Amino acid sequence: MNEKQRKEMTQQIREGNPADVKSDQDNLNRLKEKTSDDFVKYFQTTYQPPDIKKARKRGKEEVKYHQDFSVSDDLVGIGKGKKFLIRTYGCQMNEHDTEVMSGILTELGYEATTDTHEADIILLNTCAIRENAENKVFGELGHLKPLKREKPELILGVCGCMSQEESVVNKILEKHHHVDLIFGTHNIHRLPQLVKEAMFGKEMVLEVWSKEGDIIENLPKARRGKTKAWVNIMYGCDKFCTYCIVPMTRGKERSRRPEDIIQEVRHLAAQGYKEVTLLGQNVNAYGKDLADIEFGLGDLMDEIRKIDIPRVRFTTSHPRDFDDRLIEVLAKGGNLMPYIHLPVQSGSSEVLKQMNRKYTREDYLELVGKIKNAIPHAAFTTDIIVGFPNETDEQFEETMTLYEEVGFESAYTFIYSPREGTPAAKKKDDVPMEVKKARLQRLNALVNDYSNKALQKYEGQVVDVLVEGESKNNPNVLAGYTPEQKLVNFEGPKSAIGQIVKVRVTNTKTWTLDGEMIEEAAEVK
């Protein structure tokens, strides 16, 4: 179907202006018509979902950098007097994408709200990493249905990682007719046009690109806080771990230019931000795709540590690409925080092989040893998957012993969740869910124990805390993080919010520290 035919077809489906629709029955009819069989068929035949086989073969074609994002004159102000709400699921990458989408919607004239009833546009920025993440989104779509019925002019959109999956898009097209807009992780910069189409055309707007490769530099960002900021350094992932959907949902690895990143961090420092976290699915692969320069994560961190910002972090690391240059730079300390999140996934070399992690248990331990030598006070945390298909009791025990050998201070632990389209999802799995649950329970008990032990070391010590705000449970208590990423609760003046202060630790719990503030402003170590 060509562009002209597409227009004709969507024209046929188009049905008046929603503002004219008065009764509930009319609304229901409209929703039904919007997803007529022809229309669904059209999208199902023209939509090109990301495909893992093609993705694996993807080349290193040149990344194009665009510095020219702008909202065209006819779109400025289309959100004036209107409100938006974005629900974010998943990782920091998604949190940051939400900041970008909020920035774009603000440029269109929209204002933020946290009340679904007030919102004129609601976007669900979704995560596809495990089945339960997806179930939450489908649950939320169900909850929002009555609202959409009451208020047909509401634009309801689904974006983020789930939109990059064919099965999800098909399910929405078939079962969630009240969705107006679906767009993928590579289409965020198209939000102004997509909102306009959703607003004025009455068909469901769907734009998901399997093609990726471009980096759009000057997108607006409405950052959530004034103290800590996310900074993307690269996008995508080319590691193809067999359980993971991310190489499909986020596309191939592509790095931002160092000068653009450095400028962004400098700008944040000048605005008074106290901490930046450099973001990527696999930050250690930073720079590999930069054809004209030899410049890796270590080199980037070496430049960023010279910027006058008190704290610099990075996430997420892949052990395979964690090189000596990076360790050497991290050992220089200063504003580079002694905190290493290094997902291991399993302690068994055989399972790691089946996961296509490209390192063994021994490789991992050697790397940790090197980092500990260079940065003896570094805190290590990790991600672990239990119940990978056919994981044996012995293999699981290897994960337990590795945890102890490294002495992780905390971990995110998950039961393996098959993701359609990934190689592991095709494996027959003979481990019953009960066994997987029992393994997770044992692992979590160990994680709690080690977290508690790690925190006990701080009893009586004075720590630097970057104060984020009032504690969630008690507005009289302030909360913030140490350089090693330990959460500290303490009583102190509101003026300390956004500052780094000295706190004496008076009590340790399983996950957090309690303390008393002893000095208003602390020097950066």
Greatest alpha-carbon pair distance for the chain in Å reads 73
Minimum Å gap between C-beta 508 and ligand SF4 is 30
Q: Among ligand SF4, ligand 5AD, none, what binds residue 202 when CB lies within 5 to 8 Å by partner kind?
A: none
* 236 near ligand SF4, rule: CB under 6 A: no
Minimum Å gap between C-beta 243 and ligand 5AD is 4
What is the chain's percent helix, strand, coil content, to nearest 5? 40, 20, 40
Q: Check whether 161 is labelled as a binding-site residue.
A: yes
Kindly list the strands in the beta sheet with 111-112, ordered across the sheet, starting from the edge strand earlier in the chain. Answer: 111-112, 83-88, 121-126, 155-160, 181-183, 205-207
Rounded to whole angstroms, the Cα distance separating 98 from 85 reads 10
234-248 exposure pattern, b = at least 16 Cβ within 10 A, e = fewer:
bbbbbbbbbbbbbbb
Rounded to whole angstroms, the Cα distance separating 315 from 341 reads 7
Query: Is the CB of residue 79 less than 8 Å from the CB of residue 195?
Result: yes
Minimum Å gap between C-beta 417 and ligand 5AD is 4
Query: Is the CB of residue 178 less than 8 Å from the CB of residue 140?
Result: no
Nearer to ligand 5AD, 133 or 479 (CB): 133
x/- mask, ligand SF4, residues 130-169, rule CB under 6 A, reads ------------------------------xx--------
Query: Is the CB of residue 300 less than 8 Å from the CB of residue 339?
Result: no
In the complex, residue closest to ligand SF4 by CB:
90
* 345 near ligand 5AD, rule: CB under 6 A: yes
Which of the 8 DSSP states describes residue 332?
A: T
Q: Check whether 159 is labelled as a binding-site residue.
A: no
- Please list every residue from 87 through 106 that binds ligand SF4, using CB under 6 A: 90-91, 93-94
Phi, psi of 380 (to 5 degrees): -110, 135
Q: Among ligand 5AD, ligand SF4, none, what binds residue 416 when CB lies within 5 to 8 Å by partner kind?
A: ligand 5AD
Which residue is it, tokens 């494996």? 427
Identify the residue among 55, 86, 108, 129 touching ligand SF4 (CB under 6 A).
129
- Please list every residue from 247 through 276 that binds ligand SF4, using CB under 6 A: 249-250
Count of C-beta atoms within a 10 Å radius of residue 356: 14
Q: Among ligand SF4, ligand 5AD, none, what binds residue 414 when CB lies within 5 to 8 Å by partner kind?
A: ligand 5AD
* 414 near ligand 5AD, rule: CB under 6 A: yes
* 123 near ligand SF4, rule: CB under 6 A: no
**CA 393 to mean position of chain CA atoms:** 32
Phi, psi of 369 (to 5 degrees): -60, -45
Count of C-beta atoms within a 10 Å radius of residue 463: 20
Part in contact with ligand 5AD (CB under 6 A); list of ranges 8-16, 210-218, 410-418, 432-440: 410-418
**In terms of Cα–Cα distance, which of 122, 138, 133 is closest to 90?**
133
* 243 near ligand 5AD, rule: CB under 6 A: yes
Q: Among ligand 5AD, ligand SF4, none, what binds residue 31 when CB lies within 5 to 8 Å by partner kind?
A: none
* 182 near ligand SF4, rule: CB under 6 A: no
Part in contact with ligand SF4 (CB under 6 A); list of ranges 70-78, 85-93, 149-157, 251-259: 85-93
- Binding interface with ligand 5AD (CB under 6 A): 129-130, 243-244, 343, 345, 383, 385, 414, 416-417, 419
- Binding interface with ligand SF4 (CB under 6 A): 90-91, 93-94, 127-129, 160-161, 245-246, 249-250
> Would you list which residues are annotated within the binding site for [4Fe-4S] cluster?
91, 127, 161, 237, 241, 244
